[in-house]
Amino acid sequence: MKSSIWRSVQALLFACATIPGWTLAAQAQQEVKLAYCFPEASHYGAGAGAWTAAIEEGTNGKFKVRHFSSCALGGERDTVEGLQFGTIEAIMVSTGTLSNFVPEVGLTDIPFLFRDLAHARGVLDGPIGDEILGKFDERGIVALAWGEQGFRHITNNTRAINEPADLAGLKLRTMENPVHIKAFEVLGAAPTAMSWHEVISALEQGTIDGQENPLSVIVSANIDAVQKYLTLSGHVYSPTMLLVSKPFYDGLTDEEKAVFKDGALAGAAAMRGFVDDAEKTGLATLKERGMQVNELSAEQRAAFQTSVQAAYEEYYKTYPKELIDRVIESE
Ligand code: PAF
């Protein structure tokens, strides 16, 4: 009896093993952990969705991408380390965090460097952007594409911000990013570097007065629930990067590498599409939700730009002046 059951099991296993598609999928399906620090209903989710679809379809299901949204695998810095250790295969992360790993990326975090989205996208998709992507290899990371969040604006609970003097002493959360911290120091605020997953509770508890992020983030994270004033300072462009672990990437075939790369470009395009929508509709949404919005005049904005110039002397020590000027002068 026992042996006839065993023979049936063997026959079934043999039958399955001779169906080529089935065997391939069952034996070789590999999970790709994709981590990001934001909810799925956001620009990150849009990018992750497009990247996932491209990978799963382009490899006929050999790779199954599992999303870990909202910092489920730790803060942005933790996920970059996870990539280096090879415990996470793919991440989407803001450049704010990345300059701690690849200092060259901090160039993109310099305030008032980019005029508008088209300028920023043009530079990052061109030779300067490619050069920065290439710096990641030696850190155990493969940088595939530039995603986007938009231009960052200031929110706070203390007062409307119309001029740099209004920032005096304001406990403003920044990313753990030396370029941003320097900018807010020279503007007179009290910058407080903090990982994103601690920000909402810190705002609720009043341990910080404000934060700064693009409309895509302010709307998706419901920052209006914990912040009263929004100033459209647009003080810095905020790119993201779509990255994979180098040990994982090195194990892929050339065709699979191309699928991951093209998929990352599709993910980046989806993020940019989301940001375009947020730029069009985000402001009205936040006003409806009761935020007091300060739209700066050209002169008021110029006052912030002038005040922050003092930080440029510091930036030139890390990023050559010629390079910064080249970015500013790019079409
Ligand atoms: O402010 C930040 O830390 C980032 O902009 C965020 C919200 C985590 C998205 O990358």
- Res. 331 pLDDT band, cuts 50 70 90: confident
Which residue lies with its CA nearest to atom 3 of ligand 1?
196
**In whole angstroms, what is the distance from residue 286 CA to residue 38 CA?**
19
Answer yes or no: are the C-beta atoms of 296 and 232 closer than 8 Å.
yes
At 27 the pLDDT is 52
User: Could you tell me which residue, 3 or 119, shows the higher pLDDT?
Assistant: 119
Domain that holds residue 40: 29-329
By DSSP bridging, strand 229-245 and strand 90-94 are antiparallel
Q: Has residue 254 been placed in a domain?
A: yes
Tokens 């039958």 found at: 15
Is 17 part of a structural domain of the chain?
no
- Closest ligand 1 atom, CA of 76? 8
The pLDDT score that the predictor gives to residue 20 is 46
In this prediction, residue 9 carries a pLDDT of 44
Say if 11 falls within a structural domain.
Answer: no
pLDDT value of position 12: 45
Measuring from atom 9 of ligand 1, which residue has the nearest CA? 94
Of all atoms in ligand 1, which is nearest to the CA of residue 36?
10
Q: Is the residue at 145 inside a domain?
A: yes
Span from the CA of 175 to the centroid of ligand 1 (angstroms): 7
CA distance 228 to 286: 10
Specify if 20 maps to a domain.
no
Whether the pLDDT of residue 324 is over 50: the answer is: yes
Asked if pLDDT for residue 255 goes beyond 60, the answer is yes
Output the residue whose Cα is nearest ligand 1's atom 8: 196
Please compute the mean of the pLDDT values over residues 94-112 and round it to a whole number.
94
- Mean pLDDT across 38-65: 97
Residue 97 CA, closest ligand 1 atom number: 3
Residue 7 lies in a domain: no
Atom number in ligand 1 closest to CA 240: 10
Select from 36, 213, 236, 275 the residue to mutate for testing ligand 1; criterion: most ligand atoms less than 8 Å from CB: 213
pLDDT at 116: 97
Domain total of the chain: 1
Q: Express each pLDDT in 140-160 by its tens digit.
A: 999 999 999 999 999 999 999
pLDDT in tens, 280-297: 999 999 999 999 999 999
| Closest approach atom of ligand 1 to CA 195 | 3
Q: Which residue(s) pair with 239 in the sheet? A: 148
Q: Looking at residue 28, what is its pLDDT?
A: 72
CATH of the domain at 312: 3.40.190.170
Question: Does residue 12 belong to any structural domain of this protein?
Answer: no
Residues paired with residue 65 on neighbouring β-strands, in sequence order? 32
Looking at ligand 1, which residue's alpha carbon is closest to its atom 4? 94
Under 8 Å between Cβ of 301 and 234: yes
Q: What is the mean pLDDT of the chain?
A: 92
Min mean pLDDT across 1-5, 61-65, 179-183, 258-262 is at: 1-5
Asked, for residue 15, whether it belongs to a domain, the answer is no
Pocket of ligand 1 (CB under 6 A): 37-38, 76, 94, 96, 149, 175, 196, 213, 217, 238
* For residues 85-113, average pLDDT: 95
Give the pLDDT of residue 16.
43
